[in-house]
Amino acid sequence: MTTRLFAPVAALVLSAACAAGPIAMPVAVVPETPAELAAARAADADPVEALLGRADVHFLTGQDELAQGHLGQAKQTFNLALEVLLTAPGGIRSDARLSAHFDRLVDRISALELTALATGDGFASVPFEPASIDALLAISTFDDVAPAAELTRAVEADLEATVHDIPIPSNERVVRFVELLQGRLREFLADGLSRSTLYLPMIQEIFRKEGLPLDLAYVPLIESGFKPSAYSRAAARGVWQFMRPTGMEMGLRQDWYIDERADPYKSTVAAAKYLKQLHRMFGGDWHLALASYNGGPGRVQRAMKRSGRDDFWRLSSDQRFLPRETRDYVPMILAAIIIARNPAQYGFDVAPLPLPAHDLVVLPAPMDLRRVAEWTGVTIDEVRALNPELRRWTTPVRQTDYELKVPAGTAHLLFERYASANPDETTAFQWHTVRRGETLAGIARSLKVNRTDLAEANYLRATSPLAAGQQLIIPRAPAPGTLMAGRGTAGTGEPLRAAADEPARVVYRVRSGDSLYAIARRHNVTVQDLRTWNKINGTRINIGDRLTIHQGAAAGAQ
């Protein structure tokens, strides 16, 4: 459920024009570099070429910054290159040139990050786990020993008896991976199958609504073992292991505070969108679509063009066209689907994990997660586990109505404590007031913080100008015992309080087995209340629906 914490006056107010400076007269920008000149010439001739040229200028700048060791600035500049293309009218896939250029940029940026940034993105402060995909695809299975004939016959019989909604051949490559997952990787797969019970109902419901094959719900078994905290050497993140550029394309928010790739629900919605896009790009061939999910659509399309082959099994039978990881990825995914659909047949006893229920609290201002843990009587790890998209010790600055998950039955505890709290009790930020002439680089040096962190924490570019009097958050995790620390130089404001006369608003996400009657009884309201608040005709609700519940208020008062 969701409780809204109301605040008549916000204690934390950052200037909407924090990066604004004196108004200047327009100045003509004269291109200086060959890349800028080329982009300028293209702008006169073709708007698509203009976009491509602008993106290339940012990409080349990012390459230079990377070569100088400016990893954070390179990351921001690479983002700009991709954002230029993503803002194209009609979308990135509306033009073949845009689509191909975007895919090439993604491949090139990913390769650079793999060598220079893959030790971690340099910014995340929350713990993460190695993604299973790295270890699995590092295992070589194609030796000279054929899979056991008995297993081959068992897999063939299983495929004949089980209806799958994507084509699965019983060829030797697929059976080899069934043998591997059933043998050497048994413990890994058993853990993943058990963990999948937390997310499969949600994933299958989303895929069903999107018209996607439900067999694809098992892709995270190989990608991440269904771990939201999974992070690969290639900087892919979350249950679905989205790379940063692909996450951007699919609309997943990624900034200093939040990485929605780690949110199981949001990333599943994005994965459904992406899989449908790949399916269209490859003419309805799910094997090629899955190969491109791993290796990137641009790489697979180039391999098809070079080889003249449009069948994954023929394309991947030759080592010249696709990397081994992509050649192995598709049969491994298909093998995992085979076992996951009939685990007992392959010797697996899946032990379901209990799905932790939660309340959803709507926060009007940033809040320290340690305070949330204290007021709800749980550990900080429990709060973070419920909110894997949060990268920091706090909810996002400058965001009102942030929906924070807390353990079921604890929302009222947080609401009650918040109602009587003052600003110093909810956040522990360190602040800096900008003086005349100061720059981000200078402030970062003097305060010994990363310049890119300083910019991103304040929603600025690394080159953004500053205005005297502007308040900057210092991106430094608060030390133990600083939860009661004040705002320093940030000035004072009215205490942030919840209005005592306002009822708590709860947003409840419908789960499997729920009914309006059961939900109403659980929250001590009537079915008619639920129908009125949510404009429901009849009693039908679906898994994933979000129902508003006003605790302590009658429907007629709304």
> What pLDDT does residue 215 have?
97
Q: Which residue has the tokens 């991440």?
A: 224
Domain 2-9+356-412+496-557, second-level architecture = Roll (3.10)
> What pLDDT does residue 83 have?
81
Q: How far is CA 192 from the centre of its chain?
A: 20
Measure Cα distances from 355 to 4, 197, 380, 389, 470 in Å. Answer: 24, 8, 18, 18, 45
Sorted by where each begins, the domain ranges of the chain are: 2-9+356-412+496-557, 34-116, 129-346, 431-475
> What pLDDT does residue 406 have?
94
Q: Which residue has the tokens 């030790």?
A: 119
CA-atom Rg of the chain in angstroms: 26
CB 430 within 8 A of CB 46: no
CA distance 503 to 501: 7
Phi, psi angles (nearest 5°) of residue 105: -60, -45
Q: Topology of domain 431-475, per CATH?
A: Membrane-bound Lytic Murein Transglycosylase D; Chain A (3.10.350)
**Model pLDDT for residues 55-78, shown as the tens digit of each residue:** 888 888 877 777 666 666 777 788
Could you count the other beta carbons within 10 Å of the beta carbon of residue 354? 7
> What pLDDT does residue 308 have?
96
> What pLDDT does residue 71 have?
66
> What pLDDT does residue 493 have?
27
CB 199 within 8 A of CB 220: yes
Q: How far is CA 145 from the centre of its chain?
A: 40
CB 451 within 8 A of CB 76: no
Q: Which residue has the tokens 């429901």?
A: 536
CB 399 within 8 A of CB 389: no
CB 309 within 8 A of CB 291: no
| Tens place of pLDDT per residue across the chain (558 aa) | 555 554 332 322 222 233 333 333 333 333 445 555 555 554 456 788 888 888 888 888 877 777 666 666 777 788 788 888 887 887 778 888 888 888 888 777 766 765 554 443 333 455 567 677 777 777 755 555 678 899 999 999 999 999 999 999 999 999 999 999 998 889 999 999 999 999 999 999 999 999 999 999 999 999 999 999 998 888 899 999 999 999 999 999 999 999 999 999 999 999 999 999 999 999 999 999 999 999 999 999 999 999 999 999 999 999 999 999 999 999 999 999 999 999 999 999 998 898 888 999 998 888 999 889 999 999 988 999 999 999 998 999 888 889 999 999 999 999 888 888 876 778 877 889 999 999 999 999 998 888 888 998 998 988 889 999 999 988 877 665 555 433 333 322 222 233 333 445 667 777 767 788 778 777 778 888 888 888 888 778 887 788 888 755 544 433
In the chain, what is the greatest distance between 2 CA atoms, to the nearest angstrom? Answer: 79
Active-site residues, by number, are 223
The reply to whether domains 129-346 and 431-475 share a CATH topology is no
- The 3-state DSSP class for residue 202 equals helix
CA distance 303 to 299: 6
CA count, 13 A, side-chain hemisphere, 358: 17
CB 2 within 8 A of CB 403: yes
> What pLDDT does residue 38 have?
55
CB 328 within 8 A of CB 336: no
CA distance 104 to 185: 34
**Sign of CA pseudo-dihedral 396, 241, 281, 51:** positive
Q: Can you read off the two tokens belonging to residue 495?
A: 């205490």
**pTM value surpassing 0.85:** no
**Model pLDDT for residues 216-252, shown as the tens digit of each residue:** 999 999 999 999 999 888 889 999 999 999 999 999 9
- Who contacts 221 (Cβ-Cβ below 8 Å, separation ≥6)? 189, 192, 193, 196, 336, 340
Identify residue 105 by its one-letter amino acid code.
L
Evaluate whether the domain defined by 129-346 bears CATH number 1.10.530.10. Answer: yes
CA distance 337 to 168: 9
